[in-house]
A and B are shown apart, each in its own frame.
Chain A
Amino acid sequence: MFGQLMHRKFSVAALATLAFLVSASAFAITADPKLADPAQEARAVALSRELRCLVCQNQSIEDSNATLAQDLRIIVRERIAAGESDQQVKQFIVARYGDWVLLNPPFNARTILLWTGPALLLFVALGGMGLYYRRSKREIAVAAPVAPLSSDEQKRLGQLLKDGG
């Protein structure tokens, strides 16, 4: 009885999960006309994932339901169907909306700091660390050797140790 109940609960959860996954993937391309050629359609989807939706800025146009995103998805498909390369389609959109629409920003004069920044910071940090260690090592080497204890000091040390024990 209990086992049966568990079993049913599990299948309900599985069904719900399945339904969610199916609907989530169906959401991505609501009622858009698809390209007949599956290879071209795959290119259109891949390209749309790389283009930022300008209305809901952290989504790609593939994921967004905004009218503009829908229009841009249609434009991407029209251009692919017309035989343009991925690069040409991207250029068409970038010419209108700027590099900003590319979720993967290009490497150019304006983005050089964006791309090299992390490596640059790491380099500076490693350099600073190296310098710090070299200096502290030299300071230890330079420090005068400790003079041996005099007989008076030896006697006091013995006394202190005995008292402490």
Chain B
Amino acid sequence: MKLKTFFPLAVFALIALALGIGLYLNPRIIPSALIGKPAPTFALPAVKGRTAGFSTADLKGGEPVLVNVFASWCVPCRVEHPLLMDLAKKGVTIFGLNQRDAQGGEWLDEFGDPYKRTGDDRNGRTSIDWGVYGVPETFIITGDGHIACKHIGPVMPNDIRDKLLPALADLKAKGTTDKCSAS
């Protein structure tokens, strides 16, 4: 048999492989257009019962931080909330972006507040500036206020272990990270 005979088979295998990989990609995960860019300019008032609002300047404190978009109406936010409490206890700085929500303050009073500051994005415009299309979403921000990574959906223990903590450690040590695509 000539090698030529196998040519169609090879082409078929190549196409099947490409389609097979495509089948296992998650179409819900849309790459952020803002990776590597400075965080958008914004200044949000505090949520009910709190005095500290949240603005762009808060992200330029020199330390890498997390920005978590949440809402009291968001069910997966309930799932990730205890994990964020844990992270905050471990000393990770997290800022909250409370999207389209009148009960953000009550929610934090009831379940605990992992955020250093929380901004009340009542009309969702700041979330749009951040390219948020679902809640929850979590951003990892460099010490000088650039967006390093974006995590879509609730943060799970393996995300914290394989992505958030290693990326934060990288950013702290050398200012850049390649851990964003993990898990």
Contacts and interface: CB of A to CB of B under 8 A. Distances in A.
A81 interface: no
Interface in A92-150: 94-100
Interface stretch (B25-33, B105-113, B154-162, B172-180): B25-33
Contact of B27 (A57, A67, A96): A57
B134 A55 contact: yes
Contacts of B130: 96
B128 interface: yes
A96 B129 contact: yes
Contacts of B27: 57
A71 B124 contact: yes
A89 to B, nearest CB: 13
A35 interface: no
A45 interface: no
Contacts of A100: 30-31, 33
Q: Is the interface of B mostly helix, strand, loop or mixed?
A: loop
Contacts of B31: 98, 100
Contacts, number: 39
B128 A54 contact: no
B97 to A, nearest CB: 14
Contacts of B125: 71
A94 B33 contact: yes
A72 interface: yes
B24 interface: no
Given A54-B30, A55-B133, A95-B33, A67 B100 contact: yes
Interface string A56-99: 01000000000110011001000000000000000000111111
B41 to A, nearest CB: 13
7 contacts: A55-B133, A68-B133, A72-B128, A97-B30, A97-B133, A98-B131, A99-B33
Given A94-B33, A97-B30, A100-B30, 13 more contacts: A55-B133, A57-B28, A67-B124, A68-B124, A68-B128, A68-B133, A71-B123, A95-B33, A96-B33, A97-B133, A98-B32, A98-B131, A100-B31
Interface of B: 27-28, 30-34, 100, 123-125, 128-131, 133-134
Query: 5 nearest interchain CB pairs?
Result: A98-B33, A54-B133, A96-B131, A100-B30, A97-B131
Interface of A: 54-55, 57, 67-68, 71-72, 75, 94-100
